[in-house]
Chain A
Amino acid sequence: MKNEFDILIVDDEQVVIDSVVKMGKIYNYKVDSADNPFVALTKIKENSYRLIICDIMLPSMNGFQFIDELQRQGIDIPIVMTTGYSTIDNAIQSIYKGAIDFVPKPFTFDELTATLKRAMKYSELINLKNKAQHKQIIYVSCPSKYFRFGYSCWVKDEFNGTILIGATNLYLKTIDNIRKIEMPSVGEKVNQAETFAKFEDDEGLIHNLHSALSGRIVEINEKLLTNVSILEKDPYFEGWICRLIPSEYENEKRLLIPCSSDR
């Protein structure tokens, strides 16, 4: 008989495991832990998990190799990466490898909660979608000419040097009742995988959206500031977040997934 857990935390630091377990207790998540990737792999075979939180710097096998190993074994449990060596490179690499999110250490209780809530919701939505009947729509995928960075951020090339950027329907659905959106200011520069927009939910938790590309913001969708609901109604057209001039488009484009592959 398989034990059913919500979360598996893979980290070689006991205090990090303790933090996640503590949070699990508060929100009623069943949390299991492994202090090295091999133990984690055995546990994944024996039990079922809805989410894995994995450190990047692990003994004998790093977090990216761990993802590769899971993919090789055909295991598609959503993964959130975390590391003390919290560089943008690691964040980009995590998303590129297929992790759904990246939380740099050290995190506050709220930061971790926001991430985990979203991740659990994501897991739930994906499960629903997999079980769904033909016509039932769980979330709307992005249009076929768009590209996405991970599952959360989409981009649309306007073919005049600017790029439109926004949040996917799936990402927005992982957040309970968006109350407010915080956007970057015009002229500001963002980097790929860096937080560029923040969403505040009912409970006051802040959810970060990582930018799909690096560039300079030239316009923001000010309508969103007054009417957040546009986001959920029309996330791919009216609900764009900002327009930017990419600085390293050619290079960064490699890491994006064409939305046409989702159809």
Chain B
Amino acid sequence: MNGLNEIRFFQKIALKLILVVSLTVIIIIGIYSYIKIKSQTDVLLAEVERHANQLSETVKNSTRYGMLLNQREYVDEIIKTIGKDPAIDNIRIYNKEGEIIYSTNPSDVGKMLDKKAESCYACHAENKPLEKLSSKERTRIFRLNENSPRIMGIVNPIYNESSCWEADCHAHPKDATVLGVLDVTISLAEVDKQIKKNELQELLFAIISIASIGIIIGLFVKRWVDKPVRELVKATNQVAAGNLNYEINGLGNDELGYLAKSFNNMTKKLQEVQQQLLQSDKMALLGKLAAGVAHEINNPLTGVLTYSSYLLKRTKDNPELQEDLNVIVRETLRSREIVKSLLDFSRQSTPKKSYVDVNEVINRADTIVHNQLNINKIKLIKELDETLPKITADANQIQQVILNLLLNAIDAIGPDGGTITIKTSQTTLQPKGIVHIKAALCPKNHNLIDNEHKIAGLPSIKLKMKTNTSEGFLFLDPVYGRTNHYFGIPIDKNEIIKLTCPVCDLSLIDKTEKCPVCGGPIYKIEIPTQGYIEGCASFKDDWQRWKKVDEGGNKKFVEIQITDTGCGIPQEYIDKIFEPFFTTKGQKGTGLGLSVVWGIIDNHNGTISVKSEVGKGTAFSIKLPVE
């Protein structure tokens, strides 16, 4: 993994977020702008229309007198003068037949207009010409050609009235309704320019908003997402490379900050597990080594011992030889004891257990180190819980643990004196993952415990398992809440699995209840005098329930705390102190003391932890189960 730099630009969260937000903003601003521009345009056009209408009425009224007097030059002059206004495109008057009689453009005069021409269309669209039109209907917007600006035209019919047919010129008959049409056209170039300007403003506004939203989101994403993610990726890479000490700090209290804390917690746990694994590995390796050494050395020792002891027997009458041979035999026997103790060390796997009063063991250990404590001016404070229950343990091994820790404390305090405190107490921890199922029965009281197949060293619970296609055995993990089951045949988790007693084939499925996690079937196995253990029989999840144990509450432990006021252990050594052959005492130490302690506690299903501060002291805490 090369880190965040491998993520392509368009895959980044920031960009995705910006795109989504921008799209929303574009849609909102777009709709808003459209409505705004449309209403502005409508208002502008209405204004122009009103103006055109007014103008048309003005032209009509001002030419009325000229018309009545039939003074064509006068009318012509008025139209031309008004038409000089640059906003006015054209003013024309048609007669009833469609001939242009007056126009601001003199060349148009005399031309005939088709009824289909755009200025006639409003009235002449229907077969029968309309005589009255509203001002809206009289208005039209058109372009002369593609490149010309838009033009608004308004037609104003000139109706017949008494003064018209009574005029001296007698130009118009009495029965005609409409005498002609005044057509005023106004250029919309200015209006269009205004509209265009408005549109541009809106567009600019939209672009600026989107850009600033993008920048703001980008900045915050960088601060709140990018930076923490970079830090997290860096941390995962560190962990992947084996640095479990890496800690993420200062990521705040948001979700990513929480992730970082959870990550720190994970690495801490990993570190503990790794250390324990390492420890087990080393102990196993050491065991193998010791076994190998013992085997290899004991064979030649056999030769030495048998021959020398034989010679010793044969030379009873030769005292001088006897003396020498005795040395050989004695030293060989001593070698035998050394090898034996090496084997004992490696084989801490089977502590010989009995009921042990931890307080008594501590008192015994105290008498052993009493002199050493006095010489070093060390005060030993014992805060022993008188009501401490006895535990099932190997008293000698527990004594060895306490002695080793006391001797280490004495070394740590040195010749200038100090105090060591030994405290015993009772504590309780959750039963799940700790309680060991030692007996299990089928409804017909057949023993289900199988000593042949062991899970993590403990005899498992053997059940017969049938699926639609095959049949085999299932070995349940004997530790309540831990589910390292061994399946003798492969199972499909969607299949219905039948679980029965391997002896009588009686079903162990409880049909009255369902797994509260997945709703599947559950198995129910009797634990003599301890109720029943139940669990998910589809094995889709790890649900297990042992009411009696759950009710009985948490499991009891005896806790031994040994605290000294010695030199303390530097943080970088804390992880290593339980490893075999690790020592800071140079030639004085073997590096086996604490590793033996660890092995013994582990074999008693206990836990050991250490807290230390350089210059202030060290505190070891041991928890041993009360069984």
Contact = CB atoms under 8 A, between A and B. Distances in A.
Interface of A: 13, 15-16, 18-19, 22-23, 26, 57, 83-89, 104-110, 112, 189, 191, 214-216, 247-248, 254
Contact of B302 (A85, A105, A248): A105
B297 A19 contact: no
A106 B307 contact: no
Interface stretch (B133-141, B234-242, B288-296): B288-296
A106 B298 contact: yes
Given A15-B299, A247-B353, A248-B353, A85 B306 contact: no
Contacts of A23: 306, 310
A84 B297 contact: yes
18 contacts: A16-B302, A16-B303, A19-B303, A83-B298, A84-B302, A88-B350, A89-B350, A106-B299, A106-B306, A107-B305, A108-B305, A108-B333, A191-B352, A214-B352, A215-B354, A216-B354, A247-B352, A247-B353
A22 B303 CA distance: 11
A246 B568 CA distance: 43
A247 B355 CA distance: 8
A191 B312 CA distance: 32
Contact of A105 (B299, B312, B313, B352): B299
Interface in B342-378: 343, 347, 350, 352-354
Contacts of A214: 352
Given A23-B310, A83-B298, 7 more contacts: A15-B300, A15-B303, A22-B306, A84-B296, A85-B343, A107-B302, A109-B305
Contact of A86 (B309, B329, B340, B353): B340
Most buried by A among B291, B302, B350: B302
Interface residues of B, number: 31
A86 B294 contact: yes
Given A86-B294, A189-B354, A247-B353, A19 B307 contact: yes
Name which of B304, B306, B307, B347 has the most chain A CB atoms within 10 A of its CB: B306
Contacts of A107: 302, 305-306
Given A191-B352, A216-B354, A84 B306 contact: no
Contacts of B298: 83-86, 104-106
Closest 5 CB pairs of A and B: A84-B298, A15-B303, A106-B301, A19-B306, A106-B302
A186 B354 CA distance: 15
B451 interface: yes
Contacts of B347: 87, 89
A188 to B, nearest CB: 12
A85 B294 contact: yes
B312 to A, nearest CB: 8
B396 to A, nearest CB: 9
B332 interface: yes
Kindly name the residue among B291, B304, B309, B332 whose own CB sees the greatest number of chain A CB atoms within 10 A.
Answer: B309
A23 B332 CA distance: 19
B336 interface: yes
A108 B451 contact: no
A212 B256 CA distance: 63
Contacts, number: 89
A184 to B, nearest CB: 14
A78 B65 CA distance: 154
Mostly, the B contact residues are helix
Contacts of B291: 85
Interface in B560-586: none
Interface string B158-193: 000000000000000000000000000000000000
A180 B302 CA distance: 28
B289 to A, nearest CB: 12
Given A15-B299, A84-B295, A85-B291, A106 B343 contact: no
Interface in B467-516: none
Contacts of A109: 305-307, 309-310, 312-313
B304 to A, nearest CB: 7
A117 B304 CA distance: 21
Nearest to B329: A108
Nearest to B451: A254
B436 to A, nearest CB: 13
Contacts of B301: 105-106
Nearest to B354: A247
A112 B306 contact: yes
A22 B308 CA distance: 12
A192 to B, nearest CB: 9
Interface string B2-45: 00000000000000000000000000000000000000000000
B309 A83 contact: no
Nearest to A87: B347
A189 B353 CA distance: 10
Interface in B322-348: 329, 332-333, 336, 340, 343, 347
Nearest to A245: B354
Nearest to A191: B352
Contacts of A19: 302-303, 306-307
A86 B352 contact: no
Max chain A C-beta neighbours (<10 A), residue from B291, B305, B353:
B305
A205 to B, nearest CB: 11
Nearest to A84: B298
Interface centre among B295, B336, B347 (most CB of A within 10 A): B295
Contacts of A86: 294, 298, 340, 343
A106 B352 contact: no
Taking each of B296, B310, B347, B451, which has the highest tally of chain A beta carbons within 10 Å of its own beta carbon? Answer: B310
Nearest to A26: B310
Given A89-B347, A105-B301, A83 B352 contact: no
B303 to A, nearest CB: 3
Contacts of B336: 106
A57 B291 CA distance: 11
A189 B396 CA distance: 11
Nearest to A12: B299
A170 to B, nearest CB: 27
Contacts of B299: 13, 15-16, 84, 105-106
Contacts of B352: 189, 191, 214, 247
Contacts of B303: 15-16, 18-19, 106
A16 B299 CA distance: 7
Nearest to A55: B299
Nearest to B301: A106
Given A13-B302, A16-B302, A191-B352, A108 B295 contact: no
A108 B336 CA distance: 11
Contacts of B353: 247-248
A257 to B, nearest CB: 17
Interface in B266-324: 291, 294-307, 309-310, 312-313
Given A19-B303, A86-B298, A189-B352, A108 B343 contact: no
A23 B312 CA distance: 14
Contacts of B296: 84
A75 B526 CA distance: 43
A143 to B, nearest CB: 27
A254 B294 CA distance: 29
A107 B299 CA distance: 10
